[in-house]
Amino acid sequence: MTSRVLFRVDAGPGIGLGHLRRCLALAAGLADHGCSCVFLLEEHQAARNRIEAAGWPIEVLGLAPGQAGGAADLARVRAAASAAGAATVVVDSYAVAAGFLAGLRAYGLRVVAIDDLARESFSAHVVVNGGIQASRLPYRSTTGDTQFLLGPAYTMLQPGYREIPPRPIARDVRHVLVTVGGDDTRNLTADLLTCLDRTSGVFDVRAVVGPFSCAGDRVDQAARGSRRAVTVVHGAADLREFMLEADIAVSAAGQTLYELAAAGTPTIAFAVADNQAGSLRGLADAGVVRSAGRVSDPGFHDRLAMLIDSLTSDVGARAGLSAAGQRLVDGRGAARVAGAVVALR
């Protein structure tokens, strides 16, 4: 049985918080089995705050630029696992490739890979992808013993998202939540507030600025100039209560969409990065979100405004999105993954 687990995870500017949030969710699930966890990552205060709030110790990765996923990274993870007495390593990083995971396994570690892309064959003992599109990706094992945990049954969310009761859907939309995730390198949040000003309906707006965003001042300025009542929240640790309060959310694709689904919040979503497109398309096809496409697509703002107007005026559509989301994501994915990890021998 696994008793101590090391997490090698990425978070920070240009990366956001999605990797860290799902690792913290898994750590909470492992704690229910009596496991203790250690987090190994580069130093960023916002990430440190979240890990310390969860009660886990932190080791600083301390790599030079360009070393992520390479030999120095591998040596650092091996040393940290030995120092922590961890027999299991969870890796959640786009920088890590097949050779890195094989190097951890060759060192005698049990290896869990959290992966969104299926770019290579895996030697990990467990591979997790909680995305709706995961089962359609070409996952393969080089060792023949990899356990693949794929699909929304394994979406790893914090315990507060477990089995949230079905929510009543109000006839009128009074509260709209806007979030683009932990980072906002494209300065999208302010543009979204401007877009909301073009829509009909009478509602207030809560705009969340992520901890790695450099767009906070621009968002504050857009909020002051809006014809609506806009509350700007900087660096919120968790959006659950905001999601439960909102009648509609406007959100970038990524981990946040699965939290919104579990919360039953009707959502209009858009892709910021290429790696979000598959998940967004799958969730839209399943009736969980309305998709505005990619932010780089021509006519994005017009399409988004049209979708907002359509959804605010259609209580039945909002009820359908809410129910579909909660059917798909029950919030117990982290518990299921934790059970598989502690069962490793």
The pLDDT value recorded for residue 73 is 97
Q: Which two tokens stand for residue 297?
A: 């697509």
Q: Tell me: pLDDT of 1 over 60.
A: no
The pLDDT value recorded for residue 275 is 82
The pLDDT value recorded for residue 211 is 84
Q: Tell me: pLDDT of 345 over 80.
A: no
Q: pLDDT category, 236, cuts 50, 70, 90?
A: confident
pLDDT over 70 for what percent of the chain? 99
Same domain (yes/no): 173, 124: no
Our count of domains for the chain comes to 2
Same domain (yes/no): 322, 338: no
Distance CA 73, CA 211 (A): 25
Distance CA 287, CA 320 (A): 8
Query: What average pLDDT does this structure show over 87-96?
Result: 96
Same domain (yes/no): 94, 116: yes
Structural domain for 98, as ranges: 4-160+331-342
Q: Tell me: pLDDT of 262 over 70.
A: yes
The pLDDT value recorded for residue 2 is 60
What would you measure as the largest C-alpha separation in the chain, in angstroms?
Answer: 60
Same domain (yes/no): 170, 60: no
The pLDDT value recorded for residue 321 is 98
The pLDDT value recorded for residue 182 is 81
- Return the DSSP state at 135: G
> What percent of the chain is helix, strand and coil (3-state, nearest 5)?
40, 20, 40
Q: pLDDT category, 12, cuts 50, 70, 90?
A: confident
Same domain (yes/no): 112, 190: no
The CATH number given to whatever domain includes residue 151 is 3.40.50.11190
The pLDDT value recorded for residue 98 is 94
Same domain (yes/no): 170, 142: no
Q: Which residues of 311-343 are buried (b: 16+ CB within 10 A; e: fewer)?
A: bbeebebbbebbbbbbebbbbbbbbbbbeebbe
Same domain (yes/no): 239, 294: yes
The torsion angles phi and psi of 293, rounded to 5 degrees, stand at 80, -155
- pLDDT for 118-143, tens place per residue? 999 999 999 999 999 999 999 999 99
Report the chain's C-alpha Rg in angstroms: 20
Same domain (yes/no): 32, 156: yes
302's enclosing H/E stretch is helix 300-312
The torsion angles phi and psi of 287, rounded to 5 degrees, stand at 75, 20
- pLDDT for 167-224, tens place per residue? 999 999 999 999 998 878 788 999 999 999 999 989 999 999 988 887 778 999 999 9
Q: Which two tokens stand for residue 272?
A: 């910021």
The pLDDT value recorded for residue 185 is 78
Distance, C-alpha 24 to centroid of its chain: 11
Same domain (yes/no): 34, 146: yes
